[in-house]
Structure 1
Amino acid sequence: MAERTRAERIHAERVYRARSYDVVGIGNAIVDIIARCDDAFLSKHDLAKGYMRLIPAGEAGRLYEAMGPAIERSGGSAANTIAGLASFGAKCGFIGRVAADQFGGIFRHDIRSLGVAYDTPPADEGEPTARCLIFVTPDGERTMNTFLGTSVHFAPADIDASLIEAASIVYLEGYLFDRDEAKEAFKAAALLAQKSGAKVALTLSDAFCVDRHRADFLKFIREGTDILFANEKEITSLYEVNSFAEAADAALADCELAVLTRSGEGSVIVADGETIAVAPEPVRAVVDVTGAGDLYASGFLYGLTQGAPLATCGRLGSLAAAEVIGHIGARPEASLRKRAQERGLLGE
């Protein structure tokens, strides 16, 4: 067996306290509506290929009527990560706001069917449940049109303290950082986690989010984050540098552990003054890149809660990301636990 690096030895000595839940996620509760289309469809509806944009309820309705056959399932970045964790066999919970409507029922039923604890009461008033209309072109690129609905009204009152206090890791979604009420909810959740001895993980979600909330993100990372997830664009935008290496060094100065993905170049883990590079998992064909970063976080967090070396955590993340980009949709279609066992990354 290869000798562990100093960072891995220190990590292995950390004890994740035995809890009822390995990870509890907090994020936008969105119903993903996923359909294939060609470039002509995008042009006809003036959709910028490969980008995510926020849309009002009326446009969401028009696009829904225009799209072809679709898959409808619970979604949202943190919810996708929690679904991936469940596929590994983790015990998970989720906190996110839906309305008492048809799409809210779809979200609730779908995420609970995975064995995830989800008890956020539906909102009886206000906007409807959020939805994301995702158009996937033949090259695997996805164009996302998101109506955030009631999910953005997430506030401290929506926090389930008992669920957070029962978690080993609390995972927070950067997409939810838009409103002051949600920021206050994140602070409340982080404080609860810290008091109970749980780790706080944050994903930056999108460079678009970082550009809007850079100062608030930096403050939250420095004061309340143990584990940071970001891709190359997000981390360089956060620290306003051109060099990935500079950004990685800055992240390590601000939190205990930074997990940085670089698409086809794999990922980089920085912890305890060391850098661990992880190669990407081989993929036969890229069908849909939706959820790749979310599922990478699933694998990494699962390894972390099981006490695996950091390099193995990264390999589990790469495995989960490779599985999800091989088909339409942001949720695994095969058992991630079984795949990890076949790769020798997990015991029986």
Structure 2
Amino acid sequence: MNDAVKPTTTLICGSLAFDKIMQYHGRFSEALIADQLHKVNVSFLVPTLRTEYGGCAANVAYNLGMLGGDPLIMATLGQDGGEYLERFATMGISTRAIRTIGHAYTAQCFVTADQDNNQINAFHPGAMQFSHENNLADYGPLRIAIIGPDGRDGMLKHASDCVSASVPFMFDPGQQLPMFNGEELRDFIEKATYLAANDYEFEMLTERTGWSAEQIASRLEALIVTRGDLGSEIFANGERILIPVVGASAVVDPTGCGDAYRAGLLYGIAKGFDWATTGRLASLLGSIKIAHQGGQNHRFTPAEIGERFEAAFGYRFQ
């Protein structure tokens, strides 16, 4: 297939969620008694509450759409997901691969933070547990896919579906990595074309698989490891490419920064950019996101990204 007729769609497999974020104006440590933690019964007054649109799939699609990419979310919403579908419609993001599970609620994360930014979280997977009911073959042709944090059965199925359909995919286990044993993770890596993880996740990945970074990278076209304010690394074609951090205008909220970064990776891969440019674009998107509260409240246009990229790196990627 030549470049003129290659599909452009990026399939994004992962969670859709509502994040309920509450702020406790005291300290958890002052409400908890160390030697009584076996019988905790406490209540925290939370004067502030906000709801954010979240989920890895939505965050990635949000950024990829603003870049000018062609995102297609394949995920599950619950009976309460109507407003999310309306939001996607206003953003011009297709909902044809989103399945509504009528007997479940949309996945939700309940976050309570104290004044020291310690957090107590509760996550209800809800409709996400039925992601395996989606079939990749129903939504082709596809340029690339990403398998992000989602229902366990769905992640396993979608990896196999990508292989069956000869669709290259990025494995991004994220917070769902602990659900898989070493054999399952090795199988994901053998099937994947690319792998993205933060440094903590990658350490867990090497421990569970028993493979070194070199052994993992040798099985992929590219291994991407993010390291927070130390930047990131891309291992590809036998090289180690260091990607610098782009200075942020403010450091407000890291939620969704990894998803913004992955949108940059997917855009660069789909456009055929070299890895240094792809990683720098990803880094730029992460720096824009961190200056805003929530995963989907920042805004940019392709033209603005081009200008900011040139200002940061001295050349244009477009």
Please point out which of 92, 117, 123 is paired with 1:146: 123
Provide the C-alpha distance between the structure 2 equivalents of 1:190 and 1:252, rounded to a whole number of angstroms.
20
- Report SS of the residue matched to 2:77: coil
Identity level (%): 23
Aligned partner of 2:94 in structure 1 is 117
Q: Compared with structure 1, are the counterparts of its residues 278 and 326 closer, same or farther at alpha carbon in structure 2 (3 Å cutoff)?
A: same
User: Does the aligned pair in 2 maintain the 1:210–1:217 contact within 8 Å?
Assistant: no
User: Does the aligned pair in 2 maintain the 1:31–1:106 contact within 8 Å?
Assistant: no
Unaligned runs of 5+ in 1: 1-13, 47-61
Q: Compared with structure 1, are the counterparts of its residues 264 and 306 closer, same or farther at alpha carbon in structure 2 (3 Å cutoff)?
A: same
Correspondence list, 1:269-280, <5 A:
269-280=234-245
Q: What is the CA distance between 1:32 and its match in structure 2? A: 2.6
State TM-score, norm by structure 1. 0.76
Q: What is the CA distance between 1:112 and its match in structure 2? A: 3.1
- Report SS of the residue matched to 2:234: strand
Aligned partner of 1:176 in structure 2 is 150
Please point out which of 94, 99, 105 is paired with 2:82: 105
User: Does the aligned pair in 1 maintain the 2:147–2:155 contact within 8 Å?
Assistant: no
Provide the C-alpha distance between the structure 2 equivalents of 1:213 and 1:45, rounded to a whole number of angstroms.
37
Please point out which of 14, 18, 24 is paired with 2:6: 18
State TM-score, norm by structure 2. 0.83
Q: Compared with structure 1, are the counterparts of its residues 281 and 336 closer, same or farther at alpha carbon in structure 2 (3 Å cutoff)?
A: farther
Q: Compared with structure 1, are the counterparts of its residues 72 and 231 closer, same or farther at alpha carbon in structure 2 (3 Å cutoff)?
A: closer
User: Bigger relative contact order, structure 1 or 2, given CA contacts below 8 A and separation 6+?
Assistant: 1
Aligned partner of 1:296 in structure 2 is 261
Q: Compared with structure 1, are the counterparts of its residues 326 and 183 closer, same or farther at alpha carbon in structure 2 (3 Å cutoff)?
A: closer
Cα displacement string for residues 33-62 of structure 1 (whole angstroms, at most 9, x for unaligned residues): 345x2562655887xxxxxxxxxxxxxxx9
User: Does the aligned pair in 2 maintain the 1:16–1:305 contact within 8 Å?
Assistant: no
Aligned partner of 2:40 in structure 1 is none
Please point out which of 18, 35, 41 is paired with 1:31: 18
Aligned partner of 1:87 in structure 2 is 66
Q: Compared with structure 1, are the counterparts of its residues 282 and 108 closer, same or farther at alpha carbon in structure 2 (3 Å cutoff)?
A: same
Compare CA radii of gyration and give the structure with the larger one.
2
Provide the C-alpha distance between the structure 2 equivalents of 1:269 and 1:217, rounded to a whole number of angstroms.
20
- Report SS of the residue matched to 1:122: strand
Please point out which of 135, 138, 145 is paired with 1:162: 138
Please point out which of 32, 42, 48 is paired with 1:68: 48
Correspondence list, 1:301-320, <5 A:
301-320=266-285
- Report SS of the residue matched to 1:327: coil
Provide the C-alpha distance between the structure 2 equivalents of 1:255 and 1:152, rounded to a whole number of angstroms.
28
- Report SS of the residue matched to 1:40: coil
Equivalent AA in structure 1 for residue 150 of structure 2: L
Q: Compared with structure 1, are the counterparts of its residues 184 and 71 closer, same or farther at alpha carbon in structure 2 (3 Å cutoff)?
A: closer
Q: What is the CA distance between 1:71 and its match in structure 2? A: 3.5
Equivalent AA in structure 2 for residue 95 of structure 1: M
User: Does the aligned pair in 1 maintain the 2:59–2:260 contact within 8 Å?
Assistant: yes
- Report SS of the residue matched to 2:99: coil
Q: What is the CA distance between 1:139 and its match in structure 2? A: 7.5
Aligned partner of 2:181 in structure 1 is 213
User: Does the aligned pair in 2 maintain the 1:133–1:145 contact within 8 Å?
Assistant: yes
- Report SS of the residue matched to 2:298: coil
Cα displacement string for residues 216-269 of structure 1 (whole angstroms, at most 9, x for unaligned residues): 1221211x200100111111111119xxxx843132122121111010110100
Q: Does 1:265 align with 2:245?
A: no
User: Does the aligned pair in 1 maintain the 2:12–2:147 contact within 8 Å?
Assistant: yes
Please point out which of 157, 164, 167 is paired with 1:185: 157
Provide the C-alpha distance between the structure 2 equivalents of 1:258 and 1:16, rounded to a whole number of angstroms.
28
Aligned partner of 1:334 in structure 2 is 299
Q: What is the CA distance between 1:192 and its match in structure 2? A: 4.2
